Chain A
Amino acid sequence: MTPLLAQTEAASGSAEFWVFIVIGAVALGSALSMVLLRNAVHAALMLVVNFFAIAVLYATLDAQFLAVAQIIVYAGAIVVLFLFVLMLLGVAGDQAFTGRIAGQKTTAVLLGLALFGVLAAGVAAPFLGEGTACNVPVEQRVDAEGPLCEGLAVANADGNVRGVGFLIFTDYVWPFEVTSVLLVVAAIGAIVLGKRREDPGELTDAPASAVPALRDDDDDEAASDEDAAEPAAAGASEDDEEGTR
């Protein structure tokens, strides 16, 4: 943070608060429009706006590394993945689908409001008035009352990125490595699931009686997942069934 900016914030006092109000309004508005918009691609673009707003929110909460990671990982990679799949599957929103559950939207509104009530009463209300989120500049924070803000100053003393990196490679090196293994497994699983097979009927959901024979190219591992693999020739008839539904 530049000294000029720090001076400005120290002068105005509650600059973070107003940044938070504006950014929170942007994030909530984009989240609502993501949920309500008919066009799926528009919804994905609203998700980008939401992720950028949340990145700014992280920055105001003294999590600069998370803010940058949020932009790179979510607004960069994941939304591109979403858009790619949307373009691949067709960009129609869900207005084309006829629901089978009566009163689904009304129930969703009621349950969402109920969950907000529970969360606000159970998680947020205990911090009403007390418990300050210490997102004030470091200059103010050191001589603020109580030990709370000093802890954050200590945590970010060498810079946020350095602190996060130190913690990842010392205290949390084991979860970190497990997470990397998880990512590799997820990538391999996505490739295996998304791979186009020569036999179009493989992994379909036809009953086992309609299955002529198991494929035998997984010679060794086939025994373990025989139950899961149900190749059949029912792939062609699915399309006609969809049209009349």
Chain B
Amino acid sequence: MAAVYPLIFAALLFSVGVYGLLSRRHAVLVLMSIELMLAAVTVNLVTFWAIAGDALLTGQVFALFVMAIGAAEIGVGLAIIMLIYRNRASVNIDDADLMKY
């Protein structure tokens, strides 16, 4: 299988994640779109490892690191969303405009 197919797939997945990130207003759904983009990046890492023919498993190890950092990000992000909800009674990210201007 040519390497271009997983790369195109990852680009499509990332673009879908970007669309969700830009179009969604529910803060949890925005975080889920970010997860989609992280998954696309991880697919790219594994694919490039396979292309390079690395005798070590460097790409997979870094994909593992991306996975761990994504988990940490989701934990903190959901806690922040719950805090915003507690303070503003809304999970609409358009309402979180305190730092605007």
Residues of A within 8 A of B (CB): 14, 16-17, 20, 24, 27-28, 31-32, 34-35, 40, 43-44, 47, 50-51, 54, 57-58, 61-63, 65-66, 69-70, 73-74, 77-78, 81-82, 85-86, 88-90, 93-94, 97, 99-101, 104-105, 107-109, 111-113, 115-116, 119-120, 123-125, 127-129, 131-135, 147-152, 154-156, 160, 163-164, 167-168, 171-172, 175-176, 179, 182-183, 185-187, 189-191, 193-194, 203-205, 235, 238-239, 242, 245
Q: How far is the CB of A17 from chain B (nearest CB, A)?
A: 5
B residues 39-73 with Cβ under 8 Å of A? 39, 42-44, 46-47, 49-58, 60-61, 63-65, 67-73
Determine the distance from Cα of A78 to Cα of B78 in the docked complex, in whole angstroms.
10
Determine the distance from Cα of A193 to Cα of B77 in the docked complex, in whole angstroms.
10
In the complex, the answer to whether A88 meets B55 with C-beta atoms within 8 Å is no
Query: What DSSP secondary structure best describes chain A's contact surface?
Result: helix
Query: What DSSP secondary structure best describes chain B's contact surface?
Result: helix
Report how many A-B pairs have Cβ atoms within 8 Å. 278
In the complex, the answer to whether A132 meets B23 with C-beta atoms within 8 Å is no
In the complex, the answer to whether A112 meets B63 with C-beta atoms within 8 Å is no
Q: Which 9 A-B pairs have the closest CB atoms?
A: A186-B72, A108-B22, A148-B53, A151-B53, A112-B19, A119-B11, A124-B7, A35-B20, A116-B15
